[in-house]
């Protein structure tokens, strides 16, 4: 992807499942230090971010130091049908499973463009059931969130949070109604975005070490030109502010760490946030504390030292292709470094509360083994892929492939996990 200084290019990243092109607009130099990737339209029924991204081809002036890649329509099939998704796959829940060609196209751009900040733009509806029960509707113009997964590098997490909070402050000073993006769980607890790797917000941070920001603009209640233009202005302003703050920020480099988070717990401390609400009875718009319990985010509760390599059963060709799609490096068994082979035996299985048939959590003990022949597909764990591979392939990870039911294996107490670890030699 050769991008010269002050250049503008339109690149076709690939095609959707129904054959429509997925296009990226790229400005700036290939050697630029600050590289911002803007993604809109992962959900086809969210036109405001799409229109804003199309109008905002250069949110900041590109130069030798700054480059921008914008994908205005990440889901062209959904846009054509005016639906959230067109083929049964929610793209912003597919970044870990990586099944859709649209998701793979975005991952290719992540690898080729090498962004230092990712902005994922969406829109939300003002009418929420729990708010309507209180006679309220959402009144914020823009809501922001940032990388929430505790698997991500601490420097990436702190950079994303700083950019997000500073953007909220600047937009508030400009008299936009803003707040952090929160969701309400089935138990009534208010919390930020999920820490799982299925969203672009967390996948980009964990796999590529990129601070990521979620920008959500409120869908206008009135079908008027003024209301729609205000919503488009809000999201343009939010994206521009994120970009400007990131340019002024020294991005923290990712530290190569072998201690990887594989489980997290909700953080119950933190200031109770406030939301902009509109009272349907009085007509007043005010900023007030959210009702009920609040979880400020997630912190690590269990870590695991990543191995030198993981070995998969030879028949798991689809899983090998899945790892290859995430940029993991396959190696021949004859080129494996010296180490200790270990397998895991399941000691406990906790079913999912969602009735999806998957294990919510698995406990297991790793034991030394000499079995190597049946694990024909080996993948090296590098500094670049350690966080994703360890979180994905550890059987006890609550963010991994076992939890999401991606492996052709169902855990049972006493069963042996088919994936082998190659650990560093003792001593």
- With residue 179 as reference, give the H or E element that holds it: strand 178-180
Position 301 in a domain: no
| 328 lies in the same domain as 227 | no
The whole-angstrom separation of Cα 296 and Cα 308 is: 34
Q: Which of 296, 269, 262, 267 is nearest to 386 (CA)?
A: 262
Position 263 in a domain: no
CATH number at residue 197: 3.40.630.10
Strand pairing of 285-289 and 359-368?
unpaired
Question: Per-residue pLDDT for 221 more than 80?
Answer: no
Phi/psi for 203 (5° steps) reads -60, -45
| 60 lies in the same domain as 123 | yes
Burial class (CB in 10 A: 0-12, 13-18, 19+), 14: middle
| 250 lies in the same domain as 341 | no
Residue 173 banded pLDDT, cuts 50, 70, 90: very high
Residue 393 banded pLDDT, cuts 50, 70, 90: very high
Residue 2 banded pLDDT, cuts 50, 70, 90: very low
Position 376 in a domain: yes
Full residue range of the structural domain in which residue 140 is found: 8-258
Which residue has better confidence, 247 or 20? 20
Please report the DSSP string for 235-304 in residue order. Answer: HHHHHHHHHHHHHTS-PPPPP--SEEEEEEEEE--SPPPEEEEEETTT--EEEEEPPS-B--EEEEEEEE
| 68 lies in the same domain as 167 | yes
Half-sphere exposure of residue 259: CA atoms within 13 angstroms, side-chain side: 5
Helix (H, G, I), strand (E, B) or coil at 204: helix
The whole-angstrom separation of Cα 344 and Cα 384 is: 25
The whole-angstrom separation of Cα 168 and Cα 140 is: 12
Q: How far does Cα 383 stand from its chain's mean position?
A: 19
Q: Mean pLDDT across the stretch 308-329?
A: 94
Residue 390 banded pLDDT, cuts 50, 70, 90: very high
Question: Per-residue pLDDT for 227 more than 90?
Answer: no
If one counts the domains in the chain, the total is 2
Q: Which of 397, 406, 407 is nearest to 361 (CA)?
A: 397
Position 57 in a domain: yes
The predicted model scores a pTM of 0.93
The whole-angstrom separation of Cα 410 and Cα 273 is: 40
Task: Give percent of the chain above pLDDT 90.
Answer: 59
């Amino acid at each position: 992807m050769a991008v010269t200084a002050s250049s503008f290019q339109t690149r076709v990243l690939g095609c959707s499942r129904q054959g429509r092109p997925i296009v990226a607009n790229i400005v700036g130099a290939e050697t630029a230090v600050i590289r911002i990737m803007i993604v809109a339209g992962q959900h086809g029924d969210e036109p405001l971010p799409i229109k804003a991204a199309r109008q905002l081809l250069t949110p900041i002036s590109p130069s030798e130091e700054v480059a921008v890649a914008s994908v205005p329509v990440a889901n062209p099939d959904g846009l054509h049908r005016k639906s959230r998704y067109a083929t049964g796959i929610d793209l912003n829940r597919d970044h870990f499973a990586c099944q859709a060609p649209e998701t793979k196209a975005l991952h290719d751009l992540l690898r080729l463009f090498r962004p230092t900040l990712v902005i994922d733009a969406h829109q939300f509806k003002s009418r929420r059931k729990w708010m309507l029960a209180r006679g309220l509707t959402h009144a914020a113009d823009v809501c922001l969130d940032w990388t929430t997964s505790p698997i991500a590098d601490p420097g990436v997490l702190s950079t994303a949070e700083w950019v997000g909070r500073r953007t909220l402050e600047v937009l508030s000073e400009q008299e936009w109604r803003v707040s952090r993006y929160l969701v309400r769980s089935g138990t009534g607890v208010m919390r930020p975005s999920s820490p799982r790797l299925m969203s672009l917000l967390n996948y980009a941070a964990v796999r590529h070490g990129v601070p990521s920001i979620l920008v959500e603009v409120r869908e206008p209640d009135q079908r008027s030109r003024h209301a729609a233009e205000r919503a488009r202005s809000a999201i343009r302003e939010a994206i521009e502010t994120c970009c400007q703050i990131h340019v002024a920020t020294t991005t923290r480099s990712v530290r190569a760490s072998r201690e990887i988070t594989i489980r997290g717990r909700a953080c119950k401390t933190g200031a109770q946030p406030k939301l902009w609400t509109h009272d349907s009875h009085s007509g007043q718009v005010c900023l007030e504390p959210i009702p009920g319990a609040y979880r400020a985010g997630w912190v690590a509760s269990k870590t695991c030292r990543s191995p030198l390599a993981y070995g998969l059963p030879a028949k798991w060709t689809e899983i090998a292709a899945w790892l290859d799609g995430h940029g993991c490096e396959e190696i021949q068994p004859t080129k494996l470094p010296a180490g200790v082979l270990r397998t895991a035996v399941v000691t406990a299985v906790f079913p999912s509360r969602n009735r999806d048939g998957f294990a919510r959590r698995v406990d297991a003990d790793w034991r030394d083994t000499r079995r190597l022949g049946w694990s024909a597909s080996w993948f090296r764990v590098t500094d670049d892929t350690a966080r994703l591979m360890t979180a994905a392939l550890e059987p006890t990870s609550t963010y991994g492939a076992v939890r999401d039911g991606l492996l052709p294996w169902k855990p049972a107490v006493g069963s042996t996990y088919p994936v082998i670890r190659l650990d560093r030699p003792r001593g």
